[in-house]
Amino acid sequence: MTQIVEMKSLNKYFGSLHVLESIDLTVEQGEVVVIIGASGSGKSTLIRCINGLEEYESGQLSVDGSRLEPKGGNQQALAEIRKEVGMVFQQFNLFPHLTVRKNIMLAPMKVKNNSQVIANATAERLLSRVGISDQADKYPSQLSGGQQQRVAIARALAMEPRLMLFDEPTSALDPEMIGEVLDVMRELAKEGMTMMVVTHEMGFAREVADRVIYIHEGKIVEEGKPADVFDNPRNERTQAFLSRVLAH
């Protein structure tokens, strides 16, 4: 199998706070890895390091064969990585002054130098894929939160990424809208997209993940197949966390 992500002894600090401590992690092509843990445990920071949104201080990080150096070194590698990695955030981060269609067309035209005709065809295909073809010419403010997040997923897919990162993509949504976004993510997983997902949706993690990673205070303290992590966690911190979240 091809390794898409490889971290070795990766360390990240915010001032004196050791946010990620000696992280060793690999993600294979086509694998769905779900990262769980309490708020402030370092989950989002970990995936934000992968596309250079956060700089790390020491260790090694390679993404799809490109080596990203500590402290923002190797900007050429970072540019290559960002072409191969799509990211979906908690907040949808759509451009409010552009229609849904133009939000999606932007990356193919600006980054991949596609023509307007090809970019438009890409937008239409991806809006159909996420189930909102009829919203193409509306503005983000005219859509529900769930629809906006599906547009954000389509926009990330327009880059034809080798890896999709999801940073708590349903946390800003009303409960009735969560399912429609998770359904799109399930389809991506079935199609073989390599995915790293930070989420509090434990049912989704159990159903879709190939591997679940539990992070506590910046350290990976448990990882394994969903059934092993959820039903037979070995680490007492994992047990305590799951007893809290699964009770609600």
Q: How far is it, in rounded angstroms, from Cα 118 to Cα 147?
A: 23
Name the residue among 73, 32, 81 with its Cα closest to residue 56: 73
Sheet with 219-224: list strands edge to edge.
85-88, 163-167, 194-198, 32-36, 211-216, 219-224
Q: Are 30 and 2 in contact (CB under 8 A)?
A: no
Name the residue among 168, 165, 164 with its Cα closest to residue 191: 164
Q: What is the pLDDT of residue 113?
A: 84
Contacts of 50 (CB under 8 A, 6+ apart): 5, 61, 63, 81, 85, 163, 165, 196
Instruction: Indicate the pTM of the whole model.
Output: 0.93
pLDDT at 18 over 70: yes
Q: Are 86 and 97 in contact (CB under 8 A)?
A: no
pLDDT in tens, 150-179: 999 999 999 899 999 999 999 888 888 899
Q: How far is it, in rounded angstroms, from Cα 233 to Cα 133?
A: 42
pLDDT in tens, 203-219: 999 999 999 999 999 99
